[in-house]
Amino acid sequence: MSSLTEARVSEVRAFNRFYTKVIGVLQAGMLDSPYSLTEVRVLFELAHAAPMETGALRSLLDLDAGYLSRILARFETDGLISRERSSSDARKQLVRLTSAGERTFGDLDRRSAEEIERLLSGLPDESQGRLVAGMATIRELLGDGGAGQPYVIRPPRPGDLGWVVYRHGDLYSREYGWGTEFEQLVARIVGDLDFSRDAGWIAEVGGERAGCVFCVRQDETTAKLRMLLVEPSARGLGLGRRLVEECLRHARAEGYKRITLWTRDCLVSARRIYQGAGFELESEEKGVENGVEVTEQMWSRDL
C-alpha cells in the first residue's frame, strides 16, 4: 500500500468513525427504541415494499437467512408483522407489517426525521446545501446510482427570483417554443410577490436549484399556486408533487378555503401532479403563445 493510499484509507476510516458517532449507530437501540439498526432497516423495507418475499428481503439487506428469521420471529411476537404463503408459490413466504407495525415504523420514521432536522438546524442554509451535496457525491461515487437523489426544499434566497424568471423563459422556450412575452409574464408575477403575505419554495438537488413553486394571495379566502417548475435533470424524483404539497400545506395553515392555478394543457406532467393533489379542471379556452396555439386551463380545489 502506497503512502498516498494509506493516507486516504485513514481519512475514510476517520470519517466512518465520526459519522457513526453522529447518527448514533453505536447505541444499543435506535431512536430510543428496543430495536437495532438492522431491525429498523427491515421495518423500513417492509413499510415501503410490503408484502415482501423473505428471500427478496434477505437479498436486499444482505442478511444471513438465520439472522433474518430471528428478526422476523421477534417482530411476529411483538405483533409488528404477519406472514403468509405466496399464492403463486407455496414455497415462498410473504411478510407484511400489521397495523401495529405501521404505527411503530411511523413513530420511528418521525423521530428519525426530527433528529436529522435538529442536526441540520445548527447549520446555515448554505452549509446545509453543501452537506447534502457532499452526501449525494459519496453515494454516487460508491455506486448508489439506483437510489433516488436527495433533495432540499427551502425558502427563496437573494438571487433565486432572477433564476425563476430565467429558467421559465429558457426552459419553456426550448421545450414548447414560447417566447419573451411568457418570460415577461413570469417577471411581472415575480415582481408582484409580497412575502409578507405570499410564500415560495426552491428545490435543490446536489446543491443546485432544481425547481420552484409559489403560493400567492388571490383574496381573503383564496390562494393561487403559481410558477411550478422542475428542471429536466430532476424529473422523476417526486419534486413536483412535493412542491405542490408544500404549497397546499402553507395555504391551509394560512386559513385559505380554496386554491386555484393556471396552466396549459400541453404541460401533461404538471397536470397529473395537480390531479393527484385533488385539483379539478374549472375552465379552458384557446390562446396563442409566440405563434403557438395553446389551451389555457384554470384548475382549483377546496382546502
Do residues 30 and 80 share a domain? yes
Q: What is the CATH number of the domain that holds 42?
A: 1.10.10.10
Give the CA-trace dihedral at 62, 63, 69, 74, to 10 degrees.
-110
- As a whole number of angstroms, the longest Cα–Cα distance in the chain is 70
> pLDDT value at position 283?
94
Closest CA to 224 of 203, 244, 210: 244
Give CA–CA dist 204/150, Å, rounded. Answer: 9
For residue 143, being part of any structural domain is answered with no
> pLDDT value at position 34?
80
Do residues 167 and 69 share a domain? no
For residue 239, being part of any structural domain is answered with yes
For residue 90, being part of any structural domain is answered with yes
> pLDDT value at position 148?
56
**What DSSP element (H or E) covers 112?**
helix 99-121
For residue 144, being part of any structural domain is answered with no
Do residues 167 and 77 share a domain? no
> pLDDT value at position 30?
53
Do residues 111 and 196 share a domain? no
Do residues 285 and 227 share a domain? yes
Say if residues 212 and 165 touch (Cβ distance below 8 Å). Answer: no
Residue carrying C-alpha cell 413466504:
93
For residue 132, being part of any structural domain is answered with no
For residue 127, being part of any structural domain is answered with no
Instruction: Give me the residues paired with residue 260 across strands.
Output: 224, 300
Q: What is the CATH number of the domain that holds 259?
A: 3.40.630.30
For the chain, how many structural domains are there in total?
Answer: 2
Q: What is the pLDDT along the chain (303 residues), one digit of tens a residue?
A: 677 788 888 888 888 878 777 766 444 445 567 887 788 888 888 887 667 888 888 887 888 888 889 999 999 999 998 988 877 766 778 888 899 988 888 888 887 777 778 878 888 877 887 787 777 777 767 765 544 567 889 999 999 999 999 999 999 998 899 999 999 999 999 999 999 999 999 999 877 899 999 999 999 999 999 999 999 888 888 889 999 999 999 999 999 999 999 999 899 889 999 999 999 999 999 989 888 898 999 999 999
Say if residues 282 and 264 touch (Cβ distance below 8 Å). Answer: no
Do residues 179 and 117 share a domain? no
Do residues 97 and 161 share a domain? no
Can you give the C-alpha Rg of the chain in angstroms? 24
Nearest-5° angle of CA 262, CA 263, CA 268?
A: 150
Do residues 77 and 195 share a domain? no
- 168-218 tens-digit pLDDT: 999 999 889 999 999 999 999 999 999 999 999 999 987 789 999 999 999
Name every residue whose Cβ is closer than 8 Å to that of residue 211 and which is 6 or more positions away in sequence. 202, 203, 228, 229, 230, 231, 234, 239, 240, 243
- Domain span at residue 225 reads 152-302
Do residues 210 and 287 share a domain? yes
- 102-123 tens-digit pLDDT: 888 888 888 777 777 887 888 8
Give CA–CA dist 183/140, Å, rounded. Answer: 35
Do residues 13 and 111 share a domain? yes
> pLDDT value at position 21?
72
> pLDDT value at position 50?
62
Do residues 188 and 244 share a domain? yes
For residue 254, being part of any structural domain is answered with yes
Instruction: Give me the residues paired with residue 263 across strands.
Output: 297
